Amino acid sequence: MKHFLSVIAVTFCAAILFSFTANAQTWQLEEESTDKETSTDVISEVEDEVSDSVVQAQIMIIPFKPRMYLSDAERDIAKASKKQPEVNQRFFRWQVERSLVYRMQQNFGIKSLYFDTTQAAEEDLIRIYSSTNYSYQEPIAPIEKRSLMKFKKKKKQNAEMLDPTIANKYPTDGKNEYMSVQLRDYSILNELSEKYGTQYFLFINQFEIKTNYNNCLDIANKIYEREVIWHYTLMDKDGFVLLGNTTKAFFPTNNTKAQNIAYSCFPKMANEIAVSIPQ
């Protein structure tokens, strides 16, 4: 009798354990499914934003080349984000484009080659990159703020081309300069204008993160000021530079997660560029 009751008890416990395990697996699968659906929804939302804006495009956004990403905070960001530096670099590049598209499509038609996944768009972006050179120049104000007589003829830019590699060697320290872009063959812009219907081209030339050790925000905790900088140029389809400058945002050195930096700084920077473009 005791043996019979023991068998019943063991069977009952096993049934309960199996039921709990099955439910746990179901909950896990449902959670994973929800995460995938949420991720898909976010991607679809971004794609909808972009697809709505490229139908009648007026401004094409050219993202910065990966090699034009310069930062002296890579170690801190990688440690906080628990990701390799190249992963964070790709994240920042994607977020710069997303912030610009989201803000600028409120005022302009936008074409993003970065978000266009077609083979043709990828080839066009490679063509542009293969034709670009970069050099430091004085900022160029919006066209309506400049003297018409002074800018009747396009000024030739023959400055020495630079290939900086680390943030603490930037020649912009203490100078009011930005990294400008020049094309070896400006006919590319006319071809892209005819193909995509864009009249203007917004180049993001360089992305920087720099630490200002001269501005200590918290001496006790050794927290300093950092700035994120985008260098940009706006050209028309003939290669005439309408606008060239930098936009900056500041954050403390204890803000080291890539997501937090992007979400707190990039929308402001995208807005500054958008409002500076003559309409």
Q: What is the pLDDT of residue 69?
A: 97
Q: What is the pLDDT of residue 220?
A: 80
Q: What is the pLDDT of residue 145?
A: 54
Instruction: Please write the tens of the pLDDT for every residue from 64-84.
Output: 999 999 999 999 999 998 999
Q: What percent of the chain has pLDDT over 90?
A: 62
Strands 178-183 and 132-137: antiparallel
**Stretch 22-27: mean pLDDT:** 37
pLDDT higher for 21 or 99?
99
pLDDT higher for 33 or 129?
129
197: alpha, beta or left? (left if phi > 0; alpha if psi -120 to 50): left
CB 66 within 8 A of CB 91: no
Phi/psi at 241 (5° precision): -80, 115
pTM here? 0.73
Domain boundaries, given as residue ranges, for the chain: 34-276
Angle at 156 between CA 166 and CA 134, to 5 degrees: 15
Q: What is the pLDDT of residue 236?
A: 95
pLDDT higher than threshold 60 for residue 132 = yes
**Stretch 172-190: mean pLDDT:** 86
pLDDT higher for 178 or 33?
178
pLDDT higher than threshold 60 for residue 12 = no
Q: What is the pLDDT of residue 232?
A: 98
